[in-house]
Amino acid sequence: MNILTFAKWIEEAPNWILALPEGLQRLCFQFFQVFVYENRWKFFTDGLGTTFIVTIGALIIGVIIGMLVAIIRSTHDSARRRPNIILRILNGICKIYVTVLRGTPLMVQLLIMGFVVMVPKGNFETVLCAIITLGINSGAYVAEIARSGIMSISAGQMEAGRSLGLNYSQTMAYIIMPQAFKNILPALGNELIALLKETSLVTVIALQDVTKAAQVIVSKSYTATIPYISLAIIYLVLVIILTKLLGILERRLRESDKR
Amino acid sequence: MINVKGLKKAFGENVVLCGIDEHIKKGEKVVIIGASGSGKSTFLRCLNLLEQPTAGNIFFEDVDITDPKNDINRLRRKMGMVFQQFNLFPHMTVKENLKLAPVKLKIMTEEEAEEKALALLARVGLPEKADAYPTQLSGGQQQRIAIARALAMNPDVMLFDEPTSALDPEMVGEVLAIMRELADEGMTMVVVTHEMGFAREVATRVLFMDEGVIAEQGTPEEIFDNPQSPRLKAFLGKVL
């Protein structure tokens, strides 16, 4: 592998760079090395694609699992009589799920899924493994968030729905969940932001996400500053954009609160 | 229409209803009065199984609603209920509140429900609030909408659980006026209330509940002008 040295690069550099002081010249050299040389920026964009796919996939799985667990848990807890055996078993499973997933580090969960349970081969399987692991992990947090949302809705809403002849699931779907969702949106947004950042851990199962991309570039360019600072800025920009989008969604849902 | 036999209800150790037998006929306007804690709300809530009775049977149009084999959701469609706290759905407009159950239960098409909703809003005097959200309305307006929502299902009986207790005094009248109209049209009504004037004027029968039983009952004249039991006399002495 031929290594690009500063001396070699400066020979072919355009005039405006030669006019700069040496410190800035070296900085430009680093930028060139990290992004331009051998089209290395493509590592970042490819990695970003993976980061997006993993985040969105894990989000969908997490929300589905979380909502289901929250509904089971709150149905169990709000039952006035002793709940039936199936509900009690489901509730037990949900409790164990939340305890285990919140009680072990995500990195350890990734290592177990990646090297013990799924052992993915090839890129597609690795992406799938990451999505499933992060989704299951996120589901445990979403479950508790969603449960707090469901419990924040007054019992009168359920009674009103039932008194009109709607059954339990219809009342949940049309009356309780839409209101609960609105209440938990800020907390859910927080979880989404955490999820986006936690995808950086998928490097431990050798997935080429944007963090891995930065590591690869460091190993190729023998410089750490620019790749890692850039990586931080990429995450920061993504989170800021997400925060803005969530704010817009929140305002839309608050429509009915206008007085 | 509603036949209650040996109804008992306990919350854990706390016995609230200790054996109630009552028959409510079609077209009757039954008003239930009594001190708080006497079990009147619990009794009303048992009638559409919002509270599960501990013992006894309740027959609605000759169907035992306490029998788990009978579909309570289907039976509830014919029993409208109005709550003390209104319980409108805050995330929907007024019109959507009225249309939700008829449409989702496939009793009416979207268009039929729309028409019915607008007619009911006109009837409770709030046609201009169709697209407002519940939080934008006063308590009295919300309760009128809640009545309209219950009526949207074309119920055979209306249950009112202290419908004016959460209202500011100046809004009580508008809600009672709607209920009075409803009574005049021949709706079967069971009303738990502290409004003695309304009870005297509208009721065909007044039940006085005390310590989980119906202690005394009769026409408004019998109850208010000629009370028999000392408990009823004491109660009326306090509220009138």
Q: Which tens digits make up the pLDDT trace of A151-165? A: 999 999 999 999 999
Helix or strand (DSSP H, E) at B30: strand B29-33
Taking the C-alpha atoms of residue B138 and residue B189, their distance in angstroms, rounded to an integer, is 25
Per-state percent for chain A, helix, strand, coil, to nearest 5: 85, 0, 15
Nearest to B4 by CA among B50, B64, B45: B64
B104 touches chain A (CB under 8 A): yes
**Is this complex scored with an ipTM above 0.95?**
no
Distance to chain A for B2, nearest Cα, Å: 16
3-state SS of chain B: helix, strand, coil percent to 5? 40, 25, 35
pLDDT at A259 over 70: no
With beta carbons under 8 A apart, name residues in chain B contacting A162: 50, 73, 76
Task: Give which of B78, B49, B65 is closest to B3, Cα–Cα.
Answer: B65
pLDDT band at A89; cut points 50, 70, 90 = very high
The angle at the Cα of B12, spanning B77 to A170, to the nearest 5 degrees, equals: 25
pLDDT digits (tens), chain B, 240 positions? 899 999 999 998 899 999 999 999 999 999 999 998 899 999 999 999 999 999 999 999 999 999 989 999 999 999 999 999 999 999 999 999 999 999 999 999 999 999 999 999 999 999 999 999 999 999 999 999 999 999 999 999 999 999 999 999 999 999 999 999 999 999 999 999 999 999 999 999 999 999 999 999 999 999 999 999 999 999 999 987
Contact: B104, A166; criterion CB under 8 Å? yes
Q: Is A181 on the interface with B (CB under 8 A)?
A: no
CB contacts of A160 in chain B (<8 Å) are 81, 83, 87-89
Q: Which residues contact A256 (CB under 8 A, 6 or more apart)?
A: B90, B91, B92, B93, B133, B135
Q: What tokens does B186 get?
A: 């021949």
* Assigned token pair, B92: 């929907």
Helix (H, G, I), strand (E, B) or coil at A213: helix
| This prediction's pTM | 0.84
